[in-house]
Every structure is written in C-alpha cells, then in structure tokens.
Amino acid sequence: MNIEVLKKNGQLRVYKKKEVICREDETGKYVYLLLKGKADIYKKVGQDQADKHVANILEGTVFGESSLIEGKKRNASVVAGSDNTVVLEFENRKYRVILREEPDIAFMLIRTLMNRVNLAMDKLLSVDPAYIYSCRTNDIYIMVSSLDIETFKEIVKGNRDYPLTVLKEFSEMLDSLNQRMLS
C-alpha cells in the first residue's frame, strides 16, 4: 500500500477517547483509515434505539466506505476508543480517485470487505442452534450461495483496471446477503 499517496490525499485527524468520528444515519462524506489507536463501532438497537457496541476497528483498517460504495447513509457510528486516536480522512471524491489510480489500495479494501463477510457468516453460524435449525435449509443455502466467491474472483479478474466496478459488484453481493438475512 502506498501510504504517501494516502497521506497526500487525506486529512490527518486526532480524536480523544469517546469522541465521535462518524455518526449512524448521517450522509457519509468521508472514508477513514485508522492509523493509530482504537475505534469502536456502535449500532442503534431495540425500541429505545440504544447504542450497542458491535465491533472494534483495528489499526490499518478502512471504515466508512459503504456510503462511498452504495451512496447510502452510515449504518453505524464509530467512536474513538482511546485518546490520541489518529485517522486519515478522505473526501469521497478523492478516495474514488485513489481507488482508480492505486489498484493495491482498492484490493486492500476488497480484502477488508471479504473479512467482514466472513465475520458475518461466522456470527450467523454461532447464533442459537435452535434458530439455525428453524431456518429452512434452502434459505441458508440461498444466503450462502449469494456469496459466490468464484464469480467474485472472475469479476475481479475481468475488472482489474476498474476497482470501483469490483467494489460495486461486491457491495451488491453483500446487500443481497443482508436482505436475505433480514427477511
């Protein structure tokens, strides 16, 4: 990854512990890269819409990219988990340019998204066995088969020079899986 390209196109931001980096339901104007420190992901849940801690973000991880890829509002809030949390902030327009000009960075983002899919699948499989048993086998098969990795590999090979196309296709695969899991 060419960190100099990232630094040249991004804005360095330092956050204090518990300071909000980005907020759920806001229109995403930025993509972030956690350089140093900790960050926590919170999602509003339940009738009272209380914030629930759902995950941690590790150093070197890109976040906030779904608003760039899908053009939707943020689906979670990210809060600094330690003092002096350092992030590199990119305007969506600049990040798109980086993805076009730096395929290694685009594929790093794809790898991050693939890891998130794997974590989601692990979480799905770790749910109460009675719940899994109650799901029709066909429904589970449809959910898993919608993440056709071989097809995705072909999309990547066929679009090496068009990383945004690859990200859009992957986003559509994830969205399809998400819709099936929620229905």
pLDDT of 150-161, one tens digit each?
Answer: 555 566 666 666
Q: Which residues are within 8 A (CB) of 81 and not within 5 positions of it... i.e. 6 or more apart?
A: 17, 37, 38, 39, 40, 56
For residues 117 and 174, is the Cβ–Cβ distance under 8 A?
A: yes
Q: How sure is the predictor about 136, in pLDDT bands with cuts at 50, 70 and 90?
A: very low
Q: What is the mean pLDDT of residues 132-161?
A: 54
The separation between CA 26 and the C-alpha centre of its own chain, rounded to angstroms, equals: 16
Q: Return the pLDDT at 169.
A: 66
